[in-house]
Amino acid sequence: MRISVLGCGYLGAVHAVSLAALGHDVVGVDVDAQKIAQLAAGRSPFYEPGLESALQHALGAGRLAFTTDVAAVRGARVHFIAVGTPQKRGESAADLSFVDAAVDSLLPHLNAGDVVVGKSTVPVGTAARLAPRLETARTGAVLAWNPEFLREGYAVNDTIAPDRIVYGLPSGEAGVRARRALDEVYAVAIGNDTPVVATDYATAELVKAAANAFLATKISFINAMAEIAEVTGADVTQLADALGFDQRIGRRFLNAGVGFGGGCLPKDIRAFTARAEELGRGDSLAFLREMDSINLRRRSRLVELVAEALGGSVYEKKIAVLGLAFKPDSDDVRDSPALDIAVQLKGLGADVVATDPQAVETSRRLHPQLEYAAGLEEALDGADAVVLVTEWKQFRELDPAWARGLVGTPLIVDGRNTLDADRWRAAGWTYRGFGRP
Ligand code: UDX
């Protein structure tokens, strides 16, 4: 099938490449000429395992092209809208200007029978607002909403083999047409028994907002338990294990630590709260503000813990910060707890040296005041404290005996509760967990 994807950021680039990998003919369109040139040359603009090789493979097979010219969408039957919906500056609500502009730019190029499919995360009510534009322009095309649930670090696989597929469809014949086209796009996943929930626009939009709100709540819940564990001597990791054995609860997303970040969960729960307020149902989602505060205060709590462990102050202490990306296997530092903690420590006068396998360059652009190390050895050299904030494999597998030979003082603060405390203590380290005795 011929498919176009508007917006070649994280979501759009992954979607375009993944659909081409599934055998479709895909054209990716973006207004950013530099990004398009990079993608067309087979280089991923961001770090995502498996993406670059899939991109090169699809380009080589002639199933994928990138352009800044929106007219190239002509001839495609399905047009995905995958542009960003960032948080509005100084507000909680989502900025929908890119979605609106993408839909408007498509209108002159649509043919009767085409299906325009929104993938971007939008406030509930957006599809119903946009659908009449296709009618007014007499395109003969229909609109569907098909939210994306991909996780960074697993993005290609999550797109090709998702846990579920959700279609928000218009009623009547238009809905039948849109569903038929989407079933063809996702034929491989559907053939592998991926559940499909076909519903109305509002429900489809809400599934995405609710899923992210639930995940954020799960993380903040366990982090709230960590706060209680800290003052009672309980161990939040064992608590999470015990809770997780209850199949109604489940162990995933119960890792306490410095909390959630990234380009999705924080902005999406804020946008969801703002939308509920617009709808006169602010009370229903007031708890999400609390989840946001629990999340943000874990960062300052970690900074306090480092200061406590250093005898009351981080001033002029050399602190090795391991991790800058918001999670492992990513170079994304948007709303990253790790980067925020490094900046907070620096603000308190610490001599911060931060390292990350992928996110040093992006961090340096945003925060040139921090010192960055290219690798672990350089970061650990002479450190008064080591703070692990992003649980990259190479940090989880760090050898405490080797690291001890490099640091000034063997003090480790494990912001992700990911190291074997006994092993570190046995190697002569003072180990401080986060929500653990
Ligand atoms: C998330 C959703 O998982 C995905 O479905 C949605 O489409 C986009 O947002 P992503 O932002 O890639 O995906 O990251 P995710 O793996 O969900 O992690 C989010 C944050 O939560 C990270 O900062 C991670 O470190 C943190 N986290 C996750 C925890 O602190 N504890 C956990 O137990 C799990």
Burial class (CB in 10 A: 0-12, 13-18, 19+), 252: exposed
Indicate whether 318 and 366 sit together in one domain: yes
* Residue with CA nearest ligand 1 atom 34: 253
CA distances from 118 to 29, 162, 167, 272, 415 (A): 15, 17, 10, 18, 37
Both tokens assigned to 352: 């911060």
Of 175, 198, 221, the domain-final residue: 198
H or E element that contains 413: strand 411-414
The one-letter code for the residue type at 280 is G
The DSSP code sequence of 314-338 is -TT-EEEEE--SSSSS----TT-HH
Is 149 close to ligand 1, i.e. is its CB under 6 Å away?
yes
Ligand 1 centroid distance, CA of 212 (Å): 9
* Residue with CA nearest ligand 1 atom 7: 149
The verdict on whether 8 is a catalytic residue reads no
Ligand 1 centroid distance, CA of 270 (Å): 15
Of 160, 182, 198, the domain-final residue: 198
Is 217 close to ligand 1, i.e. is its CB under 6 Å away?
no
User: How do residues 5-36 score in pLDDT, each as one tens digit?
Assistant: 999 999 999 999 999 999 999 999 999 999 99
Separation of alpha carbons 318 and 126, rounded Å: 49
3-class SS at 26?
strand
User: How do residues 302-339 score in pLDDT, each as one tens digit?
Assistant: 999 999 999 999 999 999 999 999 999 999 999 999 99
Q: Quickly tell me which residue has 């907070």 as its tokens.
A: 344
Indicate whether 284 and 339 sit together in one domain: yes
Ligand 1 centroid distance, CA of 393 (Å): 17
Residue 210 CB neighbours (<10 A): 13
**Residues 357 and 384 sit within 8 Å (Cβ to Cβ):** no
Is 46 close to ligand 1, i.e. is its CB under 6 Å away?
no
Indicate whether 30 and 113 sit together in one domain: yes
Ligand 1 centroid distance, CA of 135 (Å): 38
Indicate whether 214 and 184 sit together in one domain: no
Of 158, 178, 198, the domain-final residue: 198
Number of domains composing the chain: 2
User: How do residues 354-373 score in pLDDT, each as one tens digit?
Assistant: 999 999 999 999 999 999 99
3-class SS at 398?
coil
User: How do residues 170-193 score in pLDDT, each as one tens digit?
Assistant: 999 999 999 999 999 999 999 999
The DSSP code sequence of 214-276 is HHHHHHHHHHHHHHHHHHHT--HHHHHHHHHTSTTT-STT---SS---SSSHHHHHHHHHHHH
Is 259 close to ligand 1, i.e. is its CB under 6 Å away?
yes
Predicted TM-score (pTM) of this structure: 0.96
Indicate whether 113 and 259 sit together in one domain: no
Is 435 close to ligand 1, i.e. is its CB under 6 Å away?
no
Indicate whether 140 and 191 sit together in one domain: yes
**Which member of 55, 264, 388, 419 is catalytic?**
264
pLDDT at 342: 98
Indicate whether 97 and 231 sit together in one domain: no
pLDDT at 138 exceeding the cut of 90: no
Q: What is the CATH number of the domain that holds 278?
A: 3.40.50.720
pLDDT at 137 exceeding the cut of 90: no
Indicate whether 136 and 209 sit together in one domain: no
Separation of alpha carbons 39 and 71, rounded Å: 18
Ligand 1 atom nearest to 154, measured from its CA: 12
3-class SS at 29?
strand
Give the range of the structural domain holding residue 392, as residue numbers without chain letter: 200-437
Ligand 1 centroid distance, CA of 369 (Å): 28
Candidates 214, 83, 79; CA nearest to 139 is: 79
Indicate whether 129 and 240 sit together in one domain: no
Indicate whether 14 and 119 sit together in one domain: yes
**Residues 345 and 271 sit within 8 Å (Cβ to Cβ):** no
Ligand 1 atom nearest to 264, measured from its CA: 9
Residue 308 CB neighbours (<10 A): 13
Indicate whether 134 and 216 sit together in one domain: no
The whole-number average pLDDT for the span 140-155 is 96
Which residues have a Cβ under 8 Å from the Cβ of 338 and sit 6 or more positions away?
Answer: 258, 261, 321, 323, 324, 325, 326, 356, 389, 390, 415
Indicate whether 193 and 208 sit together in one domain: no
CA distances from 184 to 19, 24, 57, 175 (A): 11, 10, 22, 14
pLDDT at 406: 98
The percentage of the chain sitting over the pLDDT mark of 70, rounded to a whole number, equals 100
